[in-house]
Amino acid sequence: MSKQSSSAPARAPSFTRVRLAAALSVAALAAACATTERPGPAQPPSPPPPPSGTEVQTHEGVTPPHMQGRQIVRVGLLLPFSLRPQDASALYNAAELALFDHGSQNTLLIPRDAGADETSARAAAQALVQDGADIIIGPVLREGVEGAGQAARADNIPVIGFSSDRSVGGDGVYLLSFQLEDEVHRLVTYAATQNIRSIALLAPDNEYGRRVEAALRGEAQARGVTIVAAQLYNRTDSEASAAATALATQLRSNPAQGILIAESGSALRSIGSALVRGGVDQRQVRFMGTSAWGTDAMREPTLAGGWFVSPDPSVRADFEQRYQQTYGAAPTRLASLSYDAVALAASLSRQSGARGLSRGAIENDEGFAGSDGLFRFHSDGAVERGMAILEVRPNQVVPIDPAPRRFPAARS
């Protein structure tokens, strides 16, 4: 699709259900929202008050006066308004943008503060159940998703949370997040196709690093890859640099073809420099990373030639441009999750109302094309994403193995 001129209206980011033959057009999915007013720039909101005042509580749920008599689809939003207001602002803005792009006049957003723990999230989700929510989107934290799931399951209300912890998914709770296990799977699989059969690991000694290590060992065993060494460290620049120096010394006697560096920011840059100073030859050893590398990798010359896994960057750019034009600010990294969750709810419910929000529809094998690329949900609640492999080059990153445009017909 060609780019529009600056005078043309910004097009909505693609969000479609993927067909085996072809994807549905954006126009078909967005047709129902043609008369919806475009949201204007928004300031960071205070926690929205519970529905009250002019709204009417019907036997089905909360109903604004202008929506009386309609078959409303109520989308509950559990966001961290009091705990992380800036994140909540971006998530809420993205939800509004998705409603404008893909919602119908029968779609109602009902926001509530998720609070700071499992108990408060469960109470907020219970309130959304009383409000008549047909689906609950959020929260962000693991404990919040756990609490929301407890409240929603009794009424068979699906939850799309944003935690990356797979242990809280399943039984109607789905995790639309960036999950380390998928990233490591994608990276190791690609590395194996490039004949990289021995890998060393550098990762922080925290939950993130330990999950990366566990995923790496599992993937390595499945693909006949040897883990030569693993260095976990306290997450400071000096500790990261020292761990990289120690690893470089180890690799002199026990070489590896690749080094997975599960880091970001200044610690990532410190590691790259320390490895090269320690004698690691980038012509012989491939540096690799998770999506945490992001734009940081371009700022460290020693990481040039490195690979890292990422959601589809071209699709993400469309979403960021749309959000920027609407709200006058760049979205946060998690904002696209809120957009995709609301777009999914609106798209599935367009023809059949709340009945369209079934587990079978949400777990559709063909998947969906969202603002971070292709994704689909498994019955255990985990998300599977179609991700790209990018290579770091001076002042840019280049896709060397693009994200897929459709999933295989079958999956385990």
Summarised one tens digit per residue, pLDDT across range 326-367 is: 999 999 999 999 999 999 999 999 988 999 999 999 999 999
Q: Which fold has domain 180-311+389-401?
A: Rossmann fold (3.40.50)
More confident residue, 79 or 7: 79
Task: Report yes or no: 203 and 263 within 8 Å, Cβ to Cβ.
Answer: yes
Sheet order of strands, 396-401 included: 226-233, 198-204, 258-261, 286-289, 307-311, 387-393, 396-401
Q: Which of 279, 278, 275, 277 is nearest to 289 (CA)?
A: 275
| CB neighbourhood size of 173 (10 A) | 22
| Residue 202, phi then psi, degrees to nearest 5 | -125, 125
CATH topology identical between 16-35+45-175+313-371 and 180-311+389-401: yes
Residues 6+ apart with CB under 8 A from 361: 348
pLDDT of residue 410: 52
pLDDT of residue 48: 52
Work out the pLDDT band at 281, boundaries 50, 70, 90.
very high
What is the C-alpha separation between 147 and 125, in angstroms, rounded? 8
What is the C-alpha separation between 297 and 313, in angstroms, rounded? 15
- Percent of the chain exceeding pLDDT 90 equals 75
Strand 135-137, strand 73-79: pairing: parallel
For 370, the enclosing helix (H) or strand (E) is strand 368-370
Domain ranges of the chain: 16-35+45-175+313-371, 180-311+389-401
- Percent of the chain exceeding pLDDT 70 equals 85
- Give 278-299 as a DSSP string: TT--TTTSEEEE-GGGTTGGGG
Work out the pLDDT band at 66, boundaries 50, 70, 90.
confident
Q: b or e along 317-347 (b: 16 or more beta carbons within 10 Å of the residue's beta carbon)?
A: ebbbebbeebbeeebbebbbbbbbbbbbbbb
Q: CATH 3.40.50.2300: does it fit domain 16-35+45-175+313-371? A: yes
pLDDT of residue 52: 46
Residue type, 299: R
Tokens of 116: 């700071």
Q: b or e along 304-314 (b: 16 or more beta carbons within 10 Å of the residue's beta carbon)?
A: bebbbbbbbbe
Instruction: Identify each DSSP E strand in 34-91 by its residue range.
Output: 56-57, 62-63, 73-79
Work out the pLDDT band at 11, boundaries 50, 70, 90.
very low
Work out the pLDDT band at 17, boundaries 50, 70, 90.
very low
* pTM, 2 dp: 0.81
pLDDT of residue 208: 92
Task: Give the model confidence (pLDDT) of 105-131 as tens digits.
Answer: 899 999 999 999 999 999 999 999 999
